[in-house]
Chains A and B, each alone.
Chain A
């Protein structure tokens, strides 16, 4: 018996473990329309809730008359702040240590703010009834500019904070000021700037935008009065945290709350926060005794749920005459809207923006971020990036280009000259991070060779000459970006959300017949966790990925974890999966040794089995071991084969990449066409190359959207002028270019399998790459910077200002 029927390679391939382009298990359901998303849930007697929203950006709410709405047949209840106040639920805590109105309490602070929650028998009746709620407003002066908001005589937005000079993140110096967050050495940085041979300065605005997942936010709340148990299905990127927060604010014991994130139609950061719709649905279910569903429409989503970015970044970068960067200075004014609802780890009110020294060995730096209230929607989430990392990457990748221009150097040459060297890792940055691993020169050189960078620059020169001769009206831009991400939050010692440490978890049960189920504290929103986590486990425990079920999102069954955002699933939950797998393997080793009648140390792991050292024909497969765990009385061992791991990462991971974009810019129409896009990503150990490539395509397309047209814009009265998909740019297949993807592999030294995470890298690196390409096209005419988004009109204006229209 026990003949070696298959080679090691065959047995390894059968597992479909690490490095395999395994087809996704999710797709069998999704391609047939058999996903189970929140709006698909239908429960007997279920009611539907909808919001009366403010048309004003800043107004006093004088009165709310709900009589006519309540008189509408089919309307069950209309909730206002007055109804929520006795429960203490008219306000709720935000993730950023501020508080936020659930329903307007005396005033509104942004257009689209929730005023009343109408509960009706169906969504049509609810939609009719919200029109019948009469609200009397008294409009107040509107502030949409964060700089104007800090003027001494600016209107007071947050009257509830009157006289409060101390906020969640330190002193407040003005009635619309939230916090100032400072990092680095100001005096030393300013001394370097004062003496530097060259200093480049620029003010860079990263405009307000929105994650806009194709599925909007929603939930179904059901308070079962018989069992006393609240079940809440919702579009939650962090179901366990939602359960804890729901318990803390409602007073319902945590064991009586079950939160379920079913399939989620994209998140991109939008579904991290807690929204008034969730709270109102819970209250409405308690009040009516029936399940209550609330699902936003697209306008609700774009106007009221979490926005992203809105950072004004003033920068100074110092260098020697030959291009060695000597210091970086940055002052940010951050527009947080009416409430500070940023989704950041508690100790980081500006997220990890202090990664803004980027991929460069910059000896000294200083950074200060001022958070400011305005009459805009609250939020400030990480839209397909780790916390404020895309802002940081955009800042440094633009500043380096601006500096190169001032020095008269090629932007690639300047980057190569200042990269952190491979030998410097682990690298301590001037603003406090320890970069785990990197090989930036190799990645950049590979990218340059792949696109024939020198050839592209020659072609660009020829195009410019042709333009100047009047033979073409098209300019060529070459955008280069080299980003360093910081993901995988994070070590519990410095990363928490509302006091909950940002560890993550995996629990594994091996079934007697040798298949398995693993449950994790994260939740997929399209990333393919059911596919990739099974691959990590397959390689660890020698059970084929096809025989492993992955489950997430049900707080009654899954182990506690902080959820999926900030590219943290692979770095944290992926690590937990590997560690739990190793516990399984450790017990399996003892079982195998017992079965083989040798000492524990006399067996060794071999792909899917333990074999006696030096006698590979004597072995026990994981299948055999699993069965033995359930049918043998093994001295000194408990029956069963299960393990759980709560993984607290020792450090973040630092994925990086080199992106190059070739763009044709029509100076007469402002139309920018991406002719070529090359993306090299280094995300450490690669789990599923197919899924990585898909993540890169998607992230780049979101970057294209942001750089080239997507924004949440407000007029002076605080009206959202981009509140539907008519005005809010989401690229179609026509505008989206073909992408070339590539990679290098520099494993993370502290992650159990060396993986770093990838989902958000392409957005972080993509935005500066597209933007640099547009600006690069106009550099010969003296342009140093232009604010995003680079839509046709704005690009036409650049050309016009530069006198290119004759």
Chain B
């Protein structure tokens, strides 16, 4: 089928089998390999991307379902000049990653979580990230990074207002 969607602000068109999984379309057709695959069953969240303002696990979304949608992946988080997004900064600052496999999905989910709830408690962060598995960090520093990012983003917001 003919697919069109907006990925990271760029309009893309392609021919794809309707059954193609969104994650494979992103990784193999568009070569956006930051989105990872960890389980193919929607449990691990390594493939989390933003689709029309919601977190989705792109391993269980058909490309046909994403037709016409707006998709954001990890590749769009840093600024064009290479400046890291505050979430990326905080993950680095607080050692919120080790092998890096879960990180793109984790950051994409955290990004959406902070849109949904800009000032989450620790428990809310833990619950909000519970669809994303990490085998390396034990989550403690991920939670710390997300809370620090929330504080930094809120401070930026206040300063702007």
Which A residues lie at the B interface, using CB under 8 A?
Answer: 23-24, 26-35, 37, 39-40, 42, 123-124, 212-216, 263-266, 268, 297-298, 525-528, 690-691, 693-694, 697-702, 724-726, 730, 732-734, 736, 738-739
CA distance A213 to B44 in the complex (A): 11
Chain A neighbourhood of B62, CB < 8 A: none
Q: Give B12-49 interface residues, CB cut-off 8 Å to A.
A: 17, 19-20, 24, 27-28, 31-41, 43-44, 46
In whole Å, how far is B97's beta carbon from the nearest beta carbon of chain A?
6
Q: For the complex, is B102 an interface residue (Cβ under 8 Å from A)?
A: yes
Instruction: Return the contact of A214 from the options B24, B99, B126 (Cβ within 8 A).
Output: B99
A525-B131 Cα distance, complex, nearest whole Å: 23
Tell me if B141 is interfacial: C-beta within 8 Å of chain A. Answer: yes
Majority secondary structure of chain A interface residues (helix, strand, loop or mixed): loop
Whether B88 and A31, one on each chain, are in contact in the complex, defined by CB atoms closer than 8 angstroms, is yes
Contacting residue for B134 out of A35, A214, A726, CB 8 A: A214
Q: A214-B38, A298-B41 are in contact. Are A123 and B24 (CB under 8 A)?
A: yes
Whether A697 contacts B137 by the Cβ 8 Å rule is yes
Q: Are B39 and A32 in contact (CB under 8 A)?
A: no
In the complex, which of the residues A31, A691, A726, A732 contacts B91, with contact meaning CB atoms closer than 8 Å?
A31
Q: Are A32 and B88 in contact (CB under 8 A)?
A: yes
8 shortest interchain CB distances as A-B pairs: A33-B34, A526-B99, A30-B100, A265-B101, A697-B138, A33-B74, A701-B138, A526-B98
Closest chain B residue, CB of each to CB of A215: B101
A700 contact set on B, CB distance < 8 A? 138
Contacts of A268 in B (CB 8 A): 135
Known contacts A30-B97, A31-B88, A527-B98, A698 near B137 by CB under 8 Å: yes
Bound form: Cα–Cα A525–B27 in Å:
22
Residues of A within 8 A of B126 (CB): 732-734, 736
- Given A33-B75, A268-B135, A733-B130, A726–B140 Cβ distance below 8 Å? no
Known A-B contacts A701-B138, A725-B39, A739-B138; the reply to A27 vs B97 at CB < 8 A is: yes
Name the residue of chain A whose CB is nearest to the CB of B77: A32
Q: Is the CB of B103 within 8 A of A213?
A: no
Quick one: closest A residue to B37, CB to CB?
A39
Q: Which of B33, B107, B127, B140 has the most CB of A within 10 A?
A: B140
A-side contacts of B38, CB under 8 Å: 214-216, 265, 298
Residue of A nearest to B74 (CB): A33
A25 to chain B, nearest CB (A): 10
CA distance A117 to B81 in the complex (A): 45
Q: How far is the CB of B26 from chain A (nearest CB, A)?
A: 10
Quick check: B95 and A691 within 8 Å, CB to CB?
yes
A694 proximity list for chain B (CB < 8 A): 95, 98, 136-137, 141
| A208 vs B77: C-alpha distance when bound (angstroms) | 40
Q: Does A42 contact B31, Cβ atoms closer than 8 Å?
A: yes
Q: Which residues of B contact A24 (CB under 8 A)?
A: 92, 95
B73 CB-CB contact with A under 8 Å = yes
In the complex formed, the residue of B with least CB distance to A688 is: B95
Whether A725 lies near B41 (C-beta < 8 A) is yes
B92 touches A698 (CB 8 A): no
Q: Can you list 19 pairs linking A and B with CB atoms under 8 Å apart?
A: A26-B100, A27-B97, A30-B99, A33-B32, A33-B75, A34-B34, A40-B33, A212-B135, A214-B38, A214-B46, A266-B101, A694-B141, A697-B139, A698-B136, A701-B139, A725-B43, A730-B135, A732-B126, A733-B132
Give the complex CA separation of A23 and B17 in angstroms. 43
Cβ of A739 and Cβ of B98 under 8 Å apart? no
Interface residue from B41, B78, B100, B104 paired with A526 (Cβ < 8 Å): B100
Assembled-state Cα–Cα distance A699/B136 (Å): 7
B133 within 8 A of A: yes
- In the bound complex, CA of A24 to CA of B92 (Å): 7
Residue of A nearest to B98 (CB): A526
Q: How far is the CB of A544 from chain B (nearest CB, A)?
A: 19
Task: Give B21's nearest chain A residue, CB to CB.
Answer: A124
List chain A residues, Cβ under 8 A from B135: 212-214, 266, 268, 698, 701-702, 730
Query: Inside 8 A of B93's CB, which chain A residues have their CB?
Result: 23
Of chain B, the residue at the smallest CB distance from A691 is: B95
B99 near A732 (CB under 8 angstroms)? no
A265 to B78, CA, bound (A): 22
Q: Are B99 and A28 in contact (CB under 8 A)?
A: no
Instruction: Determine if B125 is an interface residue (Cβ-Cβ < 8 Å).
Output: yes
Nearest B residue (CB) for A694: B95
Q: How far is the CA of A527 from the CA of B93 in the complex (A)?
A: 16
Among A29, A32, A124, the residue within 8 A (CB) of B17 is A124
B84 within 8 A of A: yes
In the complex, besides A29-B100, A37-B101, A123-B24, 5 extra interface pairs with C-beta distance below 8 angstroms are A30-B103, A32-B74, A37-B33, A37-B36, A124-B20
Closest to B41 in A: A724
In chain B between 114 and 154, which residues have their CB closer than 8 angstroms to a CB of chain A? Answer: 125-127, 129-143
